Amino acid sequence: MHFKKRESKPISDEECEICRALNEATKNEPRPWDKTSITVVGIFGAFVAGTAALTVSFIAPAFRKVILPYVPATTLQVQNVMKALTGRQGSVLDIGSGDGRVVIEAARHGFHGYGVELNYWLVLFSRYQAWRQGMGHSATFFRKDLWKTDMSKYNNIVIFGVDTLMGGLEKKFEKEITLDTRVLVSRFPLPNWQPVNQVGHGLDAVWTYMRPDHPDYEQSKISKDVVKGNYKKESRSNDNFGFTGNQKQV
């Protein structure tokens, strides 16, 4: 088999002109990744990444075993927490501190407020709010999982929880809180412990708990049926809970 060697033809003057013209034309073409394009793509990418990060922080708690969504406390609920804290001192820890409103209000009432919160953006926002309201020195926020938080360090603990959370939390309190610690609960009561005080009614009720082995527990505890009745009604308008007990401080 014979391969014919390719002969290179000399380029004519006309062809040479065409090459030159093509060379000139491509020189003036815009480059595909000039500075403006890179900036636009960069801004868009940052926007998409930022939006994704923000969205994920808010929906991530929904994929946990126990779902505790961001539902901030009402003004009345915060006021009731402060009333329930009357006579108490030291530190207040809000478990799942959201935008920091309970912690900041506790700081305003002379406590050192602490918040643990899973959502990083809410932690940043809480720190900003504390600083803006002049409470930065006595309100501290951690980006932390409540299950990994040591509760033994705090004098008062606040939780605005959900039903499915309360059993696990009660077990954690049993192991970790001291005799002097008080736990303030709103929305859903602890399943087994009985509260020793109640402030407010219906959805705005705040119950105070102490360890059941506290010497004052037996004489102070409120009937579980009363608490359950309140919890089932969960109504602000139809406020006929019936418990008019003295709101003693514990």
Ligand X SMILES: C[S@@+](CC[C@H](N)C(=O)[O-])C[C@H]1O[C@@H](n2cnc3c(N)ncnc32)[C@H](O)[C@@H]1O
CB closer to ligand X, 9 vs 65 = 65
Which residue number, 81 or 196, has a Cβ lying nearer to ligand X?
Answer: 81
- Residue 209's beta-bridge partner residues? 183
Min dist. Cβ of residue 148 to ligand X (A): 8
* Interface with ligand X (CB under 6 A): 61, 68, 70-73, 94, 96-98, 101-102, 116-119, 122, 145-147, 160
In 3-state terms the chain splits into helix, strand, coil percentages (rounded to 5) of 45, 15, 40
d(C-alpha 240, C-alpha 41), whole Å: 60
Nearest residue to ligand X, using CB? Answer: 96
C-beta of residue 130 within 8 angstroms of C-beta of residue 153: no
In this complex, which beta carbon is closest to ligand X, that of residue 119 or of residue 198?
Answer: 119
Tokens at 69, concatenated: 């969504």
Min CB(228)–ligand X separation in Å: 21
Q: Which of residues 146 and 199 has its CB atom nearest to ligand X in the complex?
A: 146
Phi and psi for 120 in degrees, rounded to 5?
Answer: -60, -40
Pair 158, 81: CB distance under 8 Å? yes
**CA separation for the pair 138, 132 (Å, rounded):** 13
In this complex, which beta carbon is closest to ligand X, that of residue 169 or of residue 210? 169
**Smallest gap, in angstroms, from Cβ of residue 139 to ligand X?**
13
Beta carbon of residue 76, minimum distance to ligand X (angstroms, whole number)? 12
List of residues 6+ apart from 180 with CB closer than 8 A? 155
Taking the complex as a whole, how short is the minimal distance between the CB of residue 246 and ligand X, in angstroms? 26
